[in-house]
């Protein structure tokens, strides 16, 4: 009897497997057909284009869309999504399903990853269009030798001070240092910066001659790290000085440093800080009369090479109307619409002609960011950058807490980054 059952079960299983194998070719064939159908009608004008915009920024998009609709007769719809990760996660799913957008916005440091994953496609625009943007912002939009989008806004850390505690922005860091030496006592601080966070610290390291990845004509070279070169070590020594002499409190180190620093500045306990334009509003809301300036010059006479973050417009790889989507991207970033964006959202477009325009030049905050952007370097946008943040931050923290000397810490970090890149990005 047992044997009988065993036989039956085998039979059943076999039938199951056979049944599964059979029609699979049909399925293959049918959806092959479906795929090619939908690719046919391309050159024609689409009825509408869909745009995914950053949250709360749609207000700057509306006028641009209206004029685009008028000009080309193509309807444009937009939806607001969180830019940091929501847009990327969502398009991963909606893209293949065919319900995705034609144009999306991304921070430029995600470009590499998005391109590797095939979420966005390279675009082709006239050189004259490219030339209207600042060089660094176009660099930021380039990956693997191809242009992947046009920049819509840029941001970079600047020097922010409390006008009640500091008369005017100093010219050099030596002045800041002297001021801080004098001013810092009893939980009052002359100047604060999150220099255990690589995003901010790199400005110092790079100012002294360090770099993350070497930039060649073909783009960034992930094999050539400049995090432990002489300049980087010197920069780290400078950072070390601020911590060692107690000008930066120990409580500023670590994960929650950002909120600690904001808190101190908001309560008038810090005379000046290094922070990005995203913090302006919060400081003003806290009732601080802030002044904003480009970062003062480093002791070696160089400027801070702050990381520039560029938000760009990109064409979705899943779009069926890439040409028109590219047109829309050009439209959204042209001078007129860039200016509207600035006026509506205070985001600073890296359009050359606008930086000199009085609307920006006369605004202290905006012009400080614009000027500082000229000294800065775009954050690396290749996927290998993901391996840099943690080890680099560890090294800085070890230096800040006096556990390791700059050279040794940076050497370790470089070693870790190299082996991580080798393991995770060797394909």
State the nearest-atom distance from the C-beta of 28 to another protein, in Å.
7
Shortest reach from residue 312's CB to another protein, in Å: 19
- Among residues 113, 156, 240, 337, which is the contact residue for another protein, using CB under 8 A? 113
Tokens of 312: 């760009």
Among 45, 163, 185, 250, binds another protein (CB under 8 A): 250
Among 10, 223, 256, 353, binds another protein (CB under 8 A): 256
Beta carbon nearer to another protein, 90 or 236: 90
Return the residue of 54, 61, 64, 90 that touches another protein, per CB under 8 A: 90
Q: How big is the chain, counted in residues?
A: 427
Q: What is the CA radius of gyration of the chain?
A: 26
Q: Which of 102, 262, 330, 347 binds another protein (CB under 8 A)?
A: 262
> Among 118, 164, 171, 353, which residue interacts with another protein (rule: CB under 8 A)?
118
Q: Which of residues 1-20 bind another protein (CB under 8 A)?
A: 4-5, 8-9, 11-12, 16, 19-20
Residue nearer to another protein on the CB measure, 101 or 170:
101
Pairing, β 120-121 against β 307-316: antiparallel
Contacts of another protein in 332-391 (CB under 8 A): 383, 386-387, 389-391
CA angle 212, 297, 393 (to 5 degrees): 35
Looking at the Cβ atoms of 26 and 128, the one nearer to another protein is: 26
Residue 420 binds to another protein (criterion: CB under 8 A): yes
24 is an interface residue for another protein by CB under 8 A: yes
Q: Is residue 397 part of the contact set for another protein (CB under 8 A)?
A: yes
Q: Contact with another protein (CB under 8 A): which of 260, 334, 363, 374? A: 260
Stretch that binds another protein, among 69-77, 144-152, 245-253, 290-298 (CB under 8 A): 245-253
Close Cβ partners of 415 (under 8 Å, ≥ 6 residues apart) = none
**Scanning the structure block, which residue is given the tokens 């059979």?**
22
- 3-state SS string for 237-304: HHHHHHHHCCCCCHHHCCCCHHHHHHHHHHCCCECEEEECHHHHHHHHHCCCCEEEECCCECCCCCCC
- Enumerate residues 182-241 that contact another protein by CB under 8 A: 187
Is residue 116 involved in binding another protein (CB under 8 A)?
yes
Distance linking the first and last C-alpha atoms of the chain: 56
Q: Tell me: does residue 404 bind another protein (CB under 8 A).
A: yes
Residues 307 to 336 in contact with another protein, rule: CB under 8 A: 317-318
* Least distance to another protein, CB of residue 362, Å: 26
Task: Please work out the total of residues on this chain that contact another protein, with binding judged by CB under 8 A.
Answer: 80
Q: Does 286 bind another protein (CB under 8 A)?
A: yes
H or E element in which residue 73 lies: none
56 burial level (CB within 10 Å; 0-12, 13-18, 19+): exposed
Stretch that binds another protein, among 161-169, 178-186, 259-267, 324-332 (CB under 8 A): 259-267
* Extended strands (E) in 31-184: 48-54, 75-81, 103-107, 120-121, 142-143, 146-147, 150-155, 158-162
Q: Is 409 in the site for another protein (CB under 8 A)?
A: yes
Q: Which of 67, 237, 345, 394 binds another protein (CB under 8 A)?
A: 394
Query: Does the protein bind another protein through residue 276 (CB under 8 A)?
Result: yes
Assess contact for 305 and 376: CB atoms under 8 A: yes
With both helix axes pointing from N to C terminus, report the angle between 230-244 and 389-400 in degrees, rounded to the nearest 10: 50
Q: Is the separation of the CB atoms in 324 and 101 below 8 Å?
A: no
- Is residue 252 within 8 Å of residue 261, measured between CB atoms? yes
């Amino acid at each position: 009897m047992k044997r009988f059952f065993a036989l039956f079960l085998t039979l059943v299983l076999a039938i199951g497997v056979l049944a599964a194998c059979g029609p699979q070719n049909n399925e293959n064939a049918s959806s092959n057909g479906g795929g090619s159908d939908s690719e046919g009608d391309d050159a024609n004008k689409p009825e509408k284009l869909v745009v995914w915009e950053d949250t709360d920024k749609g207000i700057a998009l509306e006028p641009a869309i209206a004029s685009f609709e008028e000009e080309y007769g193509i309807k444009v719809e937009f939806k607001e999504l969180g830019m940091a990760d929501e847009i990327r996660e969502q398009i991963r799913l909606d893209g293949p399903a065919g319900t995705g957008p034609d144009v999306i916005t991304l921070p430029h440091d995600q470009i590499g990853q998005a391109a590797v994953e095939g979420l966005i496609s390279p675009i082709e625009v006239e050189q004259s269009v490219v030339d209207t943007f600042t060089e660094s912002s176009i660099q930021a939009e380039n990956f693997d030798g191809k242009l992947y989008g046009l920049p819509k806004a840029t941001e970079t850390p600047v020097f922010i001070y409390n006008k009640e505690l500091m008369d005017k922005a100093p010219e050099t860091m030596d002045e800041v240092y002297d001021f801080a030496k004098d001013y810092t006592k009893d939980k009052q601080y002359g100047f604060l910066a999150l220099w255990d966070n690589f995003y901010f610290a790199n400005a110092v390291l790079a100012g002294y001659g360090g770099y993350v990845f070497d930039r060649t004509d073909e783009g960034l070279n992930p094999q050539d790290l400049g995090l432990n070169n002489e300049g980087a070590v010197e920069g780290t020594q400078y950072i070390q000085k601020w911590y060692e002499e107690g000008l930066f409190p120990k409580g500023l180190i670590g994960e929650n440093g950002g909120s600690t620093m904001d808190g101190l500045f908001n309560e008038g306990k810090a005379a000046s800080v290094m922070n990005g334009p995203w913090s302006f509003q919060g400081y003003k809301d806290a009732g601080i009369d802030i002044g904003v300036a480009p970062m003062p010059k480093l002791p070696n006479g160089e400027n801070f090479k702050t990381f520039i973050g560029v938000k760009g417009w990109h064409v979705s790889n899943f779009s069926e109307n890439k040409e028109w989507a590219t047109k829309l991207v050009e439209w959204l970033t042209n001078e007129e619409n860039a200016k509207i964006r600035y006026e509506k959202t205070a985001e600073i477009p890296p359009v050359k002609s606008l930086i000199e325009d009085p609307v920006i030049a006369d605004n202290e905050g905006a012009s400080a960011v614009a000027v500082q952007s000229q000294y800065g370097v775009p954050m690396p946008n290749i996927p290998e950058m993901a391996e840099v943040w943690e080890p680099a931050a560890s090294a800085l923290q070890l230096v800040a807490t006096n556990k390791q000397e700059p050279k040794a810490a940076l050497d370790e970090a470089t070693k870790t980054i190299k082996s991580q890149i080798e393991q995770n990005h060797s394909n």
